[in-house]
A and B are shown apart, each in its own frame.
Chain A
Amino acid sequence: EKEAKPSPPRNKYQNARRVLNSAETLNLPGREPQLQELREFFTSHLESQTSGSLYVSGQPGTGKTACLSLLLRAPEFAQRLQRVYINCTSIASVGAVYKKLCTELQLKPAGRTERDHLAAIQRHLRTAKRMLLLVLDEIDQLCTSRQEVLYTIFEWPAMPGARILLVGIANSLDLTDRALMRLNARCELKPRLMHFPPYTKPQIVEIFKSRLAEAEVLDVFPPVTLQLLAAKVSAISGDVRRALDIGRRVVEIAEQQKRAGEKEFNMKALELDGNSAQVEDTLKPVQVSQVAAVLNKVYGASQNLEEDIEAAFPLQQKLMLCSLVLMLRNERNKDISMGRLHEVYRRVCAKRNILALDQAEFAGTVDLVETRGILRIMRKKEPRLNKVVLQWDEEEVHAALSDKQLIASILSDTACLAK
């Protein structure tokens, strides 16, 4: 009964926001050499009809899965290869990967045990008509203490009569050296390595341009803003998901500001001449200041929470942090237990004529500060013996508390430390 309504007209911001989503795409600018290398690997093995294994590594968000799923869909391999993609995080246990592979290959194992499934796969590999391309994503999930499964899988290319192309994807560069050392003993078993480097600044700019051009909203982002954004992201992580996220945040904020402006405009128009207020669709491109604001917010992380915190940092938490800083500054022993911190805190409170919390409440207060990431609590058997470790710099704490008078007066009060 529900009909597809014609969607309301969308402005360019909304189009840009939609096109900057971090879902998978079809064209991958900035990954041409890697795609070419993968293609060559596949075709050379296809032509010689030999098995091979490949290990692809790279930071999160560098386009590993995107490249391989593009190739898995490529028509040039569709005829000659049987393609299977398995994400190793979606299997029930490490041993269950065989069962999953059996279902993907539509095999009929003799029994229901893991070994039966393995036997079925090995029989299939020996007698298969087509070559198999097996892509295992997030392969580090298969690591166990004895690495039985990983070794079994990576030894399939060496099985007599098998024609399998095996691709493993993971984050760490040296997984095969760390976890699969024994494969190095035989040259033919050694997987070929391929690393996806983090995206550089021009590559990120290129990605943004191609995405924006897709929806014809290139004019929303002036080149300067793109340069700034790309430079910042590539300097820190080179993760394209982050870059797209930031781009989307920028658009969202620009849209919100525009909407707020529109409201004002409407109000004015209403006051001026009745109701015939015509809103023309003039969209300003995003500005450098907006991008910079988003970048600061994202990459300032904990440090620039000050403006928020200032208003709402509870007093007892401030006193607790100040006591901790006082103890760290004046004692050589950095091993501070909850009990000792509480003693000092009580004295600090007594000096300031503030009703101190008792130990149970105090432990809760320390927990709440821990959720801000300022502290770390090493749990012990007794709450009194918990160790409190400061995770921030003293300067950061000062900045976050933004209560110079209180801190200064407490830090000068070394008498509270002594018994």
Chain B
Amino acid sequence: TRLAEGTPRRSIQLSNIVEQRIFNDNEIISTPKRSRSKLADEVVDEDYTPKKSNQKTPTRPRRSSTTKQPSATKLKEQAPLTPSQKLKKIRSGELSPSMEQREQPVDESRKSQLQLAREQLHVSVVPKSLPCREKEFDNIYSFLEGKIQDQCGGCMYVSGVPGTGKTATVTGVIRTLQRLVEKDELPAFDFLEINGMRLTEPRQAYVQIYKQLTGKTVSWEHAHTLLEKRFTTPAPRRVTTVLLVDELDILCNRRQDVVYNLLDWPTKSAARLVVVTIANTMDLPERLLMGKVTSRLGLTRLTFQPYTHKQLQEIVTARLAGSEAFKGEAVQLVARKVAAVSGDARRALDICRRATEVADTADAQPGGIKCVTMLHVQQALAEMIASAKVQAIKNCSRLEQIFLQAVAAEVTRTGVEETTFMGVYTQIETIAAFMGVALPAPGRALHLCSKLGAERLIISEHSRHDLYQKILLNVSADDIHYALRVESN
């Protein structure tokens, strides 16, 4: 609590000192709040009591109202800001957030072939046109173009497993449409975008949407009323608004009011709102959403299938674009392995990147050119689709291995997956006698048990139930036998 008291007071004092140094007292701009603080300062200056400052700390962030401050333009010229003035500027969107700049990026020409390939393979480098998604592109394109030309609203639901190019395709379509608008071949439209995962709470969606419309940050209640007003009252010069909602399933709470509102606004004729929603689950509307929300979502749906190995191969080769860094069969191996599991393009690109890193550290081939071969890919695959459990069992201490063996033996004996510590301990006694090692005391064995439980090799309860605690094997019994047998050979 001392820290919490301390910080705001210090900053207030400091800013006051700075202001008194720089301005004469009468020059300080008097917004209503400032004048109050000035008064307080005059009283307090002689003997400062922390209690007063404590009252001053805002418990909730104050939001700016939409009414403009009369002194807003004047404020801009004054360099030093009090924290509250700064916050106000941030909330009204006058200060744009900037990041510190690095001095100089590395020179492009000094990069090796492998480095260039690695940069091209990064997931964040979205290509101009997505390979293997032409059909889906056309589908979304004709939907959005029709809606914008018709000047009416609508919804679309796009689904598919992660890494199949949903968001990239939709934003690609939007970019194409925006280019058409620039050439004056299409009526202008606004583009807004929210992502369910970037919101702390479903209702924050209103704040984000309003912020993208006007640049101001207001509370969600206020934002909701303003949006409601915007979308329900007809305005003659209203342009179509395209709203992209990513991760729709995160926005579904129990009341589903946010989803309902987002999908209900397009049905108002004044709104001219086109909502494109993206989620992973194919049957989300039927599974999670209420009947009335599903009815509003409509039937315009599109599913992105996982990539096949041929498509993954095409994606990776399109990224490499004629570079000699990869052997053809190496790409094919990655594509086949990934397509068999998930068909996730991100996964394939990550494995390829890892393979370039492996090749980078490996010794150069006789030819002198570094190139990613099958062996490098194999190693990268082993790292990324890895099963570390056998290794973990091999690296256990001798007694821990006996413990694991005992659990497996007890499972086979009883036929039930769940064993008690008592039964396991009897098995340990037997195995220890058989192997001729000293038997650990039950307390010691409990310690082993909790250690294995923390490693997640077994699932165990809290050890206060000592003899009666339940133990489940978290690795398969075959793994244990395999690890221990190979080692003993």
Please, which residue of chain B has its CB at the minimum distance from the CB of A384? B474
Q: Is A211 an interface residue (CB 8 A)?
A: no
Please, which residue of chain B has its CB at the minimum distance from the CB of A237? B295
Restricting to B255-271, which residues have a CB under 8 Å from any CB of A?
Answer: 255, 257, 260-261, 264, 266-269
Stretch at the interface among A42-50, A73-81, A119-127, A303-311: A303-311
Which of B153, B299, B339, B389 is A249 in contact with, Cβ under 8 Å?
B299
Known: A364-B342, A371-B282. A339 touches B295 (CB 8 A): no
Q: Is B281 an interface residue (CB 8 A)?
A: yes
Which of A138, A301, A311 is B305 in contact with, Cβ under 8 Å?
A311
Chain B residue numbers with a CB within 8 Å of A364 are 341-342
Within the complex, the shortest CB–CB distance from A201 to chain B, in Å, comes to: 19
Contact with B along A354-368 (1 / 0, CB 8 A): 000111110011001
B269 with A23: CB separation less than 8 A: yes
Which of A2, A309, A315, A382 is B474 in contact with, Cβ under 8 Å?
A382
Interface size classification for chain B: 35 or more
Chain B residue numbers with a CB within 8 Å of A365 are 341-342
Which of B151, B305, B475 is A308 in contact with, Cβ under 8 Å?
B305
A242 with B295: CB separation less than 8 A: yes
Within the complex, the shortest CB–CB distance from A169 to chain B, in Å, comes to: 10
A246 to B149, CA, bound (A): 20
Contact with B along A298-331 (1 / 0, CB 8 A): 1001100100110111111100000000000000
B150 with A361: CB separation less than 8 A: no
Restricting to A227-253, which residues have a CB under 8 Å from any CB of B?
Answer: 239, 241-242, 245-246, 248-249, 252
Chain A residue numbers with a CB within 8 Å of B299 are 242, 245-246, 249, 298
Which of B153, B161, B261 is A23 in contact with, Cβ under 8 Å?
B153
The interface centre, meaning the residue of A14, A249, A358, A370 with most chain B CB atoms within 10 A of its CB, is A358
B459 with A384: CB separation less than 8 A: yes
A239 with B341: CB separation less than 8 A: no
Please, which residue of chain B has its CB at the minimum distance from the CB of A242? B299
Known: A21-B150, A21-B152. A358 touches B387 (CB 8 A): yes
Within the complex, the shortest CB–CB distance from A286 to chain B, in Å, comes to: 16
Q: Is A342 an interface residue (CB 8 A)?
A: yes
Chain B residue numbers with a CB within 8 Å of A394 are none
Within the complex, the shortest CB–CB distance from A107 to chain B, in Å, comes to: 17
A90 with B305: CB separation less than 8 A: no
Q: Is B283 an interface residue (CB 8 A)?
A: yes
What count of chain A residues pass the 8 Å CB interface test?
64
Q: Is A256 an interface residue (CB 8 A)?
A: yes
Please, which residue of chain B has its CB at the minimum distance from the CB of A253? B142
Which of B286, B298, B305, B342 is A309 in contact with, Cβ under 8 Å?
B305
Please, which residue of chain A has its CB at the minimum distance from the CB of B476? A343
Within the complex, the shortest CB–CB distance from A89 to chain B, in Å, comes to: 4
A252 to B145, CA, bound (A): 11
A18 with B257: CB separation less than 8 A: no
A314 with B476: CB separation less than 8 A: no
Within the complex, the shortest CB–CB distance from B343 to chain A, in Å, comes to: 5
Q: Is B432 an interface residue (CB 8 A)?
A: no
Contact with A along B199-229 (1 / 0, CB 8 A): 0000000000000000000000100100010
Q: Is B306 an interface residue (CB 8 A)?
A: yes
A267 to B68, CA, bound (A): 59
Please, which residue of chain B has its CB at the minimum distance from the CB of A10? B149
Within the complex, the shortest CB–CB distance from A54 to chain B, in Å, comes to: 19
Within the complex, the shortest CB–CB distance from A306 to chain B, in Å, comes to: 12
A315 with B340: CB separation less than 8 A: yes
Restricting to B382-422, which residues have a CB under 8 Å from any CB of A?
Answer: 385-387, 389, 412, 417
A385 to B341, CA, bound (A): 22
Which of A138, A245, A312 is B308 in contact with, Cβ under 8 Å?
A312
B303 with A316: CB separation less than 8 A: no
Restricting to B341-393, which residues have a CB under 8 Å from any CB of A?
Answer: 341-343, 385-387, 389
Which of B295, B303, B472, B478 is A241 in contact with, Cβ under 8 Å?
B295
Q: Is A373 an interface residue (CB 8 A)?
A: yes
Chain B residue numbers with a CB within 8 Å of A358 are 386-387, 389
Q: Is A60 an interface residue (CB 8 A)?
A: yes
Chain B residue numbers with a CB within 8 Å of A252 are 142-143, 146
Known: A90-B261, A371-B281. A346 touches B298 (CB 8 A): no
Q: Is A290 an interface residue (CB 8 A)?
A: no
Within the complex, the shortest CB–CB distance from B417 to chain A, in Å, comes to: 7
24 A-B pairs with C-beta separation under 8 A: A7-B149, A14-B150, A18-B152, A22-B267, A24-B268, A89-B260, A171-B292, A242-B295, A312-B305, A314-B306, A343-B476, A343-B478, A357-B341, A357-B387, A358-B387, A359-B389, A359-B475, A360-B387, A370-B281, A372-B283, A382-B459, A384-B472, A385-B472, A419-B412
Kindly list 15 other residue pairs between chains A and B, CB separation below 8 angstroms, not including A171-B292, A245-B298, A372-B283. A14-B146, A17-B150, A18-B150, A23-B266, A90-B257, A171-B291, A239-B295, A249-B299, A252-B146, A302-B282, A342-B476, A357-B341, A364-B341, A364-B342, A385-B459
Which A residues lie at the B interface, using CB under 8 A?
A: 2, 5, 7, 14, 17-18, 21-24, 59-61, 87, 89-90, 92, 138, 141, 171, 239, 241-242, 245-246, 248-249, 252, 256, 298, 301-302, 305, 308-309, 311-317, 337, 339-340, 342-343, 346, 357-361, 364-365, 368, 370-373, 382, 384-385, 419
7 tightest A-B CB contacts, nearest first? A358-B387, A60-B295, A373-B283, A23-B269, A312-B305, A60-B292, A315-B340
